[in-house]
Amino acid sequence: MTREQAREKAKALVAQMTIEEAASQLRFDAPAIPRLGIPEYNWWSEGLHGVARAGTATVFPQAIGLGATFDKELLKEIGSTIATEARAKYNESVKHGDRDIYKGLTYWSPNLNLFRDPRWGRGHETYGEDPELISRLGVNFIEGLQGDSDHMKIAACAKHFAVHSGPEAERHHFDAKTNLQEMWRTYLPAFEAAVKEADVESVMGAYNRTNGEPCCGHSYLMQDVLRGKWAFKGHFVSDCWAVLDFHEHHKVTKTIEESAALALEKGCDLNCGCTYQHIMDAYDYGQIPEEHIRRAAVNLFTTRYRLGLSEETEFDSIDYKVVECKEHLALASRAAKESFVLLKNDGILPLKKEKLSTIGVIGPNADSRAALMGNYHGTSSRYITILEGIQDYVGDDVRVLYSLGCHLSADREEPLAKKDDRISEALTVAEHSDVVILCLGLDETLEGEEGDQGNAYFSGDKDDLLFPESQRHLLNALMETGKPIVLCVMAGSAMNLNDASEGCNGIFQVWYPGARGGADFAEILFGDVSPSGKLPITIYRDLEGCPDFTDYSMENRTYRFLKKAPLYPFGYGLTYGKTCVDSVEFCEPVSWDSLPKEVSVAITGHNDSNIDLEDVLQVYLHVEGTEDEVVNPRLVAFERIQLLAGDKFRLTIKIPYKAFETVDENGERSKKGTQAQLYFGFGQPDARTSELLGTKGKELTIS
């Protein structure tokens, strides 16, 4: 069913409603209208990395881990798989008369915000810090969720629109201030791609204000940009209880009725929260015209018709047995393996089982289910932690010793014990082991969303990049033993790895790898599969020179604006082999003054090692001769490639005309400057990446 057909049906249905009935449908928990045959419907479902909060489902790596795959096709497959499980669960829920929260077909994912500062607690819900990476992965994920059938498989939602990335503790009253240039080159590109390329069905507004206006009642963002420039045709939903903030915290309105009127006027069709329960009061006071109520209802029922909620669809026969089926679990396993980023390897990796008699597995995240999950997660029927994955892999051939080592964040594990009460056991395990696998990091209780009605725990942002003190004590004590250490960092953001990079023999960034990620990590650790993940964020040496967290300036933030060498750069990640770019050439002559719609480049290279591997070819661009360009070369294209041992590759990458444009101070995009420099390799064209990889890429100039 096309959007136009669905809209006509929606108009006819809404025309039959009383104004009270139409108003009731603008709540996330929309009640039934029996006389029109409309059942109740709850709009709130979550699918960030699997069907969430609705019982058993396949749990994929957290979004930041999916970002580390740099795998567009994988994201589309995962989106489609989540939608398949969502339909299967919906079919059964409706059959049993269960239309509760989290069980509908409107999924409030993905999170397309840019991870601008490593202190943000919700950064691990995003795909990283680069607009192009977020855009490409987001478009594919949305296309996978929504499908290409007669009806939408499920409805995706691009959130949180816009200029939103903390601070969590202040989000209900915070005003994120940015200029038009930064808005259009940093904060809006992923949303624009979601609307114009993926035809995303809904957009969710953020809690904060942006440049003075609340994001769920914003003239420029919602009317001028979203509905105007981008011609968005779907529905707009508020973040949960965000409209209540208008009068309670932002103080842009005085009453709840005024807040409802403002949000509805600007185009917020659906309210997650309680504010729209007061729409009829505002209507009676003359604050809301009937037209606004019916317009919003039509937008919402257009979505419901596109989903086929009132008729038979091609998805009604999806069997419940697809939930956590063999194929879906295999896809989650593939995603986890592609997400792990090898940051350091002095030759210790991969481990050889036959050369080991005892392995020590230590750390508060070694046997933690929470460290597998991230947030906004579903429930798995089985969990495999890092400890369990290693135990299962080596079986009876190698003895595995285990110690918690320390509490995740407190200074002791047992309340009546002295500080660091598990370190002596950790040292004992290390002393009796050939190698130590040390699992440190965070979980959703230490980095995540500010606690609210839908989020019972309280976590929020990080104060700094340091591991909790208890973990720092453990790390330092183990490094002093002289035993070989492979550090496994289970966290969704950049941590301070300065000491670890000096004292550990190997370092993996494992993120939150999904319910059974421990088994996948073991296969990487022992070399069954070569690591291939790339950093979707920068791992900084420190925050010196970075603006205050509440300052939305991009100065010294993310790789595009960083003025000093990071510890581990965006786009970096080792494999167990070595890939090289041998040559790059334009497929046809190009000049700066007459660029085609796409610039095609032929690239050749080879796998300079005796193992099969995957790697990610990356293309960076920098326009010379204009102050509108960002500080450093920026990612404009990427492609994951598979190579057999010693194999050669040849591929063609197409770089769109838009990549050569820059954004001026008025937010206008155009081609300026005198020439463009293109870089092709398996990481950024910076000195630190070349130092870490031991190789350089190739360059081309368009002049």
Q: Give the residue numbers marked as catalytic.
A: 239
Radius of gyration of the chain (CA): 26
Q: Which uninterrupted H or E stretch holds 48?
A: none
- Closest by Cα among 332, 310, 381 to 105: 310
DSSP secondary structure letter of residue 130? -
Q: State the chain's maximal CA–CA distance in angstroms.
A: 80
Give the span between the Cα atoms of 643 and 637, in whole angstroms. 19
DSSP secondary structure letter of residue 106? B
State both tokens at 302: 């257009």
From its phi and psi, is residue 556 left (phi > 0), alpha (psi between -120 and 50) or beta? left
State both tokens at 89: 């669960």
Query: Please, are residues 159 and 108 in contact by the beta-carbon 8 Å criterion?
Result: yes
Query: Please, are residues 274 and 308 in contact by the beta-carbon 8 Å criterion?
Result: no
Give the span between the Cα atoms of 154 and 144, in whole angstroms. 9
Give the span between the Cα atoms of 461 and 297, in whole angstroms. 37
Helix axes 290-306, 256-266, angle to 10 degrees: 60
Q: Which uninterrupted H or E stretch holds 638?
A: strand 634-643
Half-sphere exposure of 584 (CA within 13 A, CB side): 22
The three-state secondary structure class of 204 is strand
The three-state secondary structure class of 616 is strand
First-to-last C-alpha distance (Å) of the chain: 48
The three-state secondary structure class of 675 is strand
Continuous H helices in 432-497: 469-479
State both tokens at 256: 């709840």
Give the span between the Cα atoms of 617 and 595, in whole angstroms. 23
Instruction: Please name the residue that has the structure tokens 């609210």.
Output: 452
State both tokens at 163: 């200029």
Burial 266-275 (b: 16+ CB within 10 A, else e): bbbbbbbbbb
Continuous H helices in 465-620: 469-479, 498-503, 517-525, 558-561
The three-state secondary structure class of 696 is coil
From its phi and psi, is residue 398 left (phi > 0), alpha (psi between -120 and 50) or beta? beta
Beta strands 698-702 and 675-681 are antiparallel
State both tokens at 280: 């009829």
State both tokens at 630: 């960002």
- Closest by Cα among 639, 481, 515 to 74: 639
Query: Please, are residues 316 and 149 in contact by the beta-carbon 8 Å criterion?
Result: no
- Closest by Cα among 408, 332, 394 to 525: 394
∠ at Cα 455 (183, 448), nearest 5°?
A: 50
Residue-by-residue DSSP string for 408-455? SSSS-SSTTSPTTTTHHHHHHHHHT-SEEEEEEE--TTTSSPPPBTTB
Q: Residues 6 or more apart from 595 whose CB is under 8 A from it?
A: 657, 660, 671, 702
Query: Please, are residues 154 and 86 in contact by the beta-carbon 8 Å criterion?
Result: yes
